Structure 1
Amino acid sequence: MDLHEMLATMPFAVKSGIKLLSANTAEVVGNLAWSEDVTTTGQIMHGGALTTLADTVGAVSAYLNIPSGASRVTTASNAVFARQVRRGAVTATARPLHVGRKTVLVSIDITDDEGRLVSQVTQSHAVLGELGP
């Protein structure tokens, strides 16, 4: 499955403006451009937009690391925000920390255009049985 097809399986991510830049079992990279549509008070990029980006690349990372035919679901996600974003774009990089038979743990760093940390997210994903019909 190519990056466009992979992202198309997540309509909310597409509608949110997220782009996947690269994806393999070791690292998934995506980005989100600042726009007024993804801001909160003071023209600051909304934490929910940042979390949506993190959840998207984290889910792809977990999915790429589970057995063929299996599915996964996020069971926990913890975000720590380090700085505000008022322009440009943010880039999220997801890397698996642990890949087991029943769980996948993923770390996601979100950085701004200058490479500064915006948010760090840790997610756990449960590995489920085969996909249904």
Structure 2
Amino acid sequence: MNPADAMPFSKLMGVTVTATSAEAVEGEITVREDLCTAGGIMHGGAIMAFADALGAVGAVACLPEGAKGTTTIESKTNFLGAAPVGSTVRGVARPLKTGRRMSVWQTTITTAEGKAVAVVIQTQLVL
């Protein structure tokens, strides 16, 4: 099962998680027209939502025993390049810190050709 399918918005966007571990979460998404802004490039909000989904999957994979879930409490994005409609975008989320109360994840997003699109750092609160 694709872990992103448990998150309705991520499923709607078409996020596919391709690898999951406590050390990294990898995924991809195809840039559709409805995920774009003017000029046929992936909307910044879609980029952020893609990264958020990957970080959330990682945070769940690292939840301490007895935790009920996780939620994003902070996210910061540096946009580095464009992803055109029709392209595949890949993301790799890695933990910077995991703990009993929160975890911090850094997601690097690139085109399939390896061109930098964004770097996102998010904090997940353990519930």
Asked if Structure 1 and Structure 2 have the same fold, meaning a TM-score greater than 0.5 normalized by the shorter chain, the answer is: yes
Q: Percent identity?
A: 35
The counterpart of 2:27, out of the listed 30, 35, 41, is 30
Report the TM-score when normalising by structure 1.
Answer: 0.89
Q: Paired residue for 2:61, among 59, 64, 69?
A: 64
| CA deviation vs aligned residue, 1:23-77 (integer Å, no higher than 9, x gap) | 1110101111122121110111111111111000000011111124411111100
**Rounded Cα–Cα distance in structure 1 between residues aligned with 2:9 and 2:81:** 25
Other-structure match for 2:82: 84
**1:116-127 paired onto structure 2 within 5 Å:** 116-127=115-126
Give the Å deviation of 1:92: 0.8
Q: Aligned ranges for residues 1-133 of structure 1 at < 5 Å?
A: 3-4=1-2, 6-70=3-67, 71-86=69-84, 87-128=86-127
Normalising by structure 2, report the TM-score: 0.93
Stretches of structure 1 that go unaligned for 5 or more consecutive residues are 129-133
Root mean square deviation of aligned Cα: 1.1
**By how many angstroms is 1:127 displaced?**
1.1
**Bigger radius of gyration among the two:** 1
Question: Would the aligned equivalents of 2:23 and 2:95 in 1 still touch at CA under 8 Å?
Answer: yes
SS in 1 for 2:107: strand
Whether the aligned pair in 1 keeps the contact of 2:64 and 2:99 (CA below 8 Å) is: no
Could you tell me how far apart the structure 1 residues matched to 2:32 and 2:13 are? 11
| Count of residues paired in the alignment | 125
Query: Which residue in the other structure is 1:131 paired with?
Result: none
**Runs of 4+ residues deviating >3 angstroms:** none
| Alignment gaps of 5+ in structure 2 | none
- In 1, the alpha carbon distance for the partners of 2:50 and 2:78 equals 14
